[in-house]
Amino acid sequence: MHSEFAGPGVHFYASDNDDAEPMRGSAMIFQLTDKKQTDQLFASLSRGGAVTTPLGIQPWGDYYGKLTDRFGVQWMFNCNVAA
């Protein structure tokens, strides 16, 4: 299941994820269009947590990374660098 929340300056998705711990089956995803902002948010949320997929260009062409923050919440970042 996926959920989407949009507002001025915000486009937020929530996604189920089979390897999310301790929140089994869920992860939050930021859909961004600014690589620098993606790097800053990723660095902030990764402090005290664990990076599971470092930010990088993925086979689908977007700049993507995944982490678990210090509270155990999984976050995914997807930046459409062509935008």
CATH code: domain of residue 58: 3.30.720.110
DSSP letter (8 states) at residue 8: T
Residue 64: name the closest of 41, 47, 72, 49 by CA.
Answer: 41
Burial status of residue 75 (CB atoms within 10 A of its CB: 0-12, 13-18, 19 or more): buried
- pTM score: 0.71
Q: What is the largest CA-CA distance in the chain?
A: 34
Q: What is the pLDDT of residues 5-40, one digit of tens each?
A: 787 767 777 776 666 555 566 778 888 989 999 999
What domain range is 61 assigned to? 2-79
If one counts the domains in the chain, the total is 1
pLDDT for 1: 55
27-32 β-sheet, strand order: 2-7, 10-15, 27-32, 74-79, 63-68, 50-57
